[in-house]
């Protein structure tokens, strides 16, 4: 490493700190950038610098946004009587891609995880309860945290607290079942039990 | 993708153009940066911007450098009578890491490759011949291009031309053989034939 100019060594050190990038990949990326078009490289650098400066969290749902309120919360066509609670922004993006949900979101930015040291303080859960308190006409809350131990624990906690705030809100949980196209033979027992338990009247 | 703020979408698009980074990895890196320390992120962005602006090619050997002449060429303790020709900077770094070579380098920045459209014009080969013409006291040139079809063809071309320039320079080629720790059983035929051909008197 000693023979690279300082800026190359520094860039490699920085890239190595990113997830999934080791020393070899960091070197390959650095040399690729050295041989890339100058406009592309400076535009990449500027995007990275501006990212942290321009991106804020929406004051309502904590989605990433360049404005005070995100595009979804400020869209007058969205149904404001229903809120879907998700763990992070990518979960929201994936739900949006289905085109099946026209309500609002609340992004927790994590779930309780005693092992990783993530508690109530680290996620947007007090903000959720405040939002529910101040929301009029709220009819349903869908809890769409992942069906993992942490996601389920967080879901139970949210349900208990929202019931205390307002008994008239319907609280639902996203369905656990066998994924489309999967084979029963290879499905784990818990998913299979849940899929049986959650069975619905068959419709063609 | 439509629901991300523009700067996030742009950064993902840029990252996707880097080698080995697909859409999912680009997204993961972007969200990782969003959650990273602001100083780290802006320093990463600045390093990328400065990289292309500060790094030049050494006027003698075409190594990357922040100065006109690189650290190796300007080091008075290096043996200036021997030049090792390599395909790229990483090859040089790897040779340096052995600590077994104290001469100078010449970095071609590629080898002939008709399939990829790389010809004499695209690599630093005319510059090599100019350098050899103008060098006094040059005793040996080690051709350390990779033992691939392209590397070998380039090596032959370099040898023929340097012989025309100066018959007194000893021209050598880096040895092809079985790598340390490898098992003969799994070595390809060409390497094995070369290793037999290039056998040396056994010394304890």
Residue B192: pLDDT over 60: yes
Phi, psi of B17 (to 5 degrees): -80, -10
Q: Is B7–A52 a contact, with Cβ atoms under 8 angstroms apart?
A: no
Please, what is the Cα angle at B97 between A34 and B106, to 5 degrees?
A: 55
Average pLDDT over residues B132-139: 92
Residue A115: pLDDT over 90: no
Question: What gap in Å lies between CA B141 and CA B60, rounded to an integer?
Answer: 15
Q: Please name the residues in contact with B27: beta carbons below 8 A apart, sequence gap of 6 or more.
A: A90, B12
User: Residue A64: how many CB atoms within 10 A of its CB?
Assistant: 22
Residue B159: pLDDT over 80: yes
The answer to whether the CB of B51 falls within 8 A of the CB of A11 is yes
A99 Cβ under 8 Å from any chain B Cβ: no
Question: What gap in Å lies between CA B51 and CA A31, rounded to an integer?
Answer: 10
Q: What is the pLDDT of residues A116-131, one digit of tens each?
A: 888 888 899 999 999 9
A17 Cβ under 8 Å from any chain B Cβ: yes
ipTM, 2 decimals? Answer: 0.72
CATH of span A66-173 = 3.40.1360.10
Fold for domain B67-173? Dna Topoisomerase Vi A Subunit; Chain: A, domain 2 (3.40.1360)
Average pLDDT over residues A10-37: 93
Question: What gap in Å lies between CA B14 and CA B25, rounded to an integer?
Answer: 12
Give the tokens for residue A116. Answer: 């990783």
Q: Please name the residues in contact with B46: beta carbons below 8 A apart, sequence gap of 6 or more.
A: A45, A49
Phi-psi label, residue A63: left if phi above 0, alpha if psi -120 to 50, beta otherwise: beta
Q: In this predicted structure, which of A16-20, B41-45, B195-199 has the lowest mean pLDDT?
A: B195-199
Percentage of residues in chain A with pLDDT exceeding 90? Answer: 64
Question: Considering CB atoms only, which of B7, B50, B64 is closest to A55?
Answer: B7
Percentage of residues in chain A with pLDDT exceeding 70? Answer: 98
Q: Which of A161, A194, A158 is nearest to A179 (CA)?
A: A194
Q: What is the distance in angstroms between the Cα of A130 and the nearest Cα belonging to chain B? A: 24
B13 Cβ under 8 Å from any chain A Cβ: no
Question: Considering CB atoms only, which of B7, B47, B52 is closest to A51?
Answer: B7
- CATH classification (class only), A6-54: mainly alpha
On average, the pLDDT of chain A sits at 90
Please, what is the Cα angle at A163 between A159 and A165, to 5 degrees?
A: 120
More confident residue, A1 or A176: A176
Pairing relation of β-strands A64-65 and A82-86? unpaired
Sorted by where each begins, the domain ranges of chain B are 6-54, 67-173
Q: Is B11–A64 a contact, with Cβ atoms under 8 angstroms apart?
A: no
The answer to whether the CB of A82 falls within 8 A of the CB of A140 is yes
Q: Is A49–B52 a contact, with Cβ atoms under 8 angstroms apart?
A: no
Average pLDDT over residues A70-99: 92
Q: Is B32–A19 a contact, with Cβ atoms under 8 angstroms apart?
A: yes
* Whether the predicted model's global pTM rises above the 0.80 cut: no
Residue A196: pLDDT over 90: no
Alpha helices in chain A (DSSP H): 6-16, 23-34, 38-54, 89-98, 126-134, 149-165, 189-197
Average pLDDT over residues A89-105: 90
Give the tokens for residue B160. Answer: 């023929």
Q: What is the distance in angstroms between the Cα of A199 and the nearest Cα belonging to chain B? A: 33
Query: In the structure, what pLDDT confidence band is assigned to residue B1 with cuts at 50, 70 and 90?
Result: very low
Query: What does the DSSP 8-state code read for residue B80?
Result: T
- Give residue A2's pLDDT: 56
Q: What is the distance in angstroms between the Cα of B78 and the nearest Cα belonging to chain A? A: 14
Given CA atoms B107, B110, B112, B118 in this order, what sign does their dihedral have? negative
Residue B77: pLDDT over 90: yes
- Give residue A102's pLDDT: 93
On average, the pLDDT of chain B sits at 90
- Extract the runs of DSSP E, i.e. beta strands, from B29-175: 56-57, 64-65, 82-86, 104-107, 140-143, 170-173
Q: Which residues pair with B22 in a beta bridge?
A: none
3-state secondary structure (DSSP) of residue A140 = strand
Query: In the structure, what pLDDT confidence band is assigned to residue A188 with cuts at 50, 70 and 90?
Result: confident
Q: Is B41–A52 a contact, with Cβ atoms under 8 angstroms apart?
A: yes
Residue A1: pLDDT over 50: no
- Give residue B2's pLDDT: 56
Residue A28: pLDDT over 60: yes
What dihedral do alpha carbons B155, B194, B175, B92 form, nearest 10°?
Answer: 60
Percentage of residues in chain B with pLDDT exceeding 90? Answer: 64
Average pLDDT over residues A75-88: 95
Q: In what order do the strands lie in the sheet with A104-107?
A: A104-107, A82-86, A140-143, A170-173
User: Residue B58: how many CB atoms within 10 A of its CB?
Assistant: 20
Please indicate whether the domains covering B6-54 and B67-173 agree at the CATH topology level: no
> What is the length of chain A?
204
């Amino acid at each position: 490493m000693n023979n690279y100019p300082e800026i190359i060594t520094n860039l490699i050190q920085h890239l190595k700190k990113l997830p999934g990038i080791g020393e070899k990949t960091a070197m390959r990326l650095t040399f690729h950038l050295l041989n890339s078009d100058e406009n592309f490289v400076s535009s990449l650098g500027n995007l990275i610098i501006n990212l942290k400066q321009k991106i804020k969290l929406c004051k309502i749902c904590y989605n990433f946004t360049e404005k005070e309120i995100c595009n979804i919360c400020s869209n007058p066509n969205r149904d404001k009587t229903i809120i879907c609670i998700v763990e992070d922004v990518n979960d929201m993006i994936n739900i949006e891609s289905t085109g099946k949900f026209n309500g609002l979101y609340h992004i927790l930015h994590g779930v309780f995880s005693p092992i990783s040291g993530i508690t109530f303080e680290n996620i947007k859960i007090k903000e959720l309860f405040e939002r529910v308190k101040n929301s009029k006409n709220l009819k349903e809350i869908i809890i769409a945290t992942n069906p993992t131990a942490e996601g389920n624990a967080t879901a139970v906690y949210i349900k208990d607290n929202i019931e205390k705030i307002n008994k008239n809100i319907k609280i639902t949980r996203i369905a656990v079942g066998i994924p489309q196209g999967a084979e029963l033979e290879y499905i784990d027992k818990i998913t299979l039990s849940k899929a049986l338990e959650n069975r619905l009247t068959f419709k063609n």
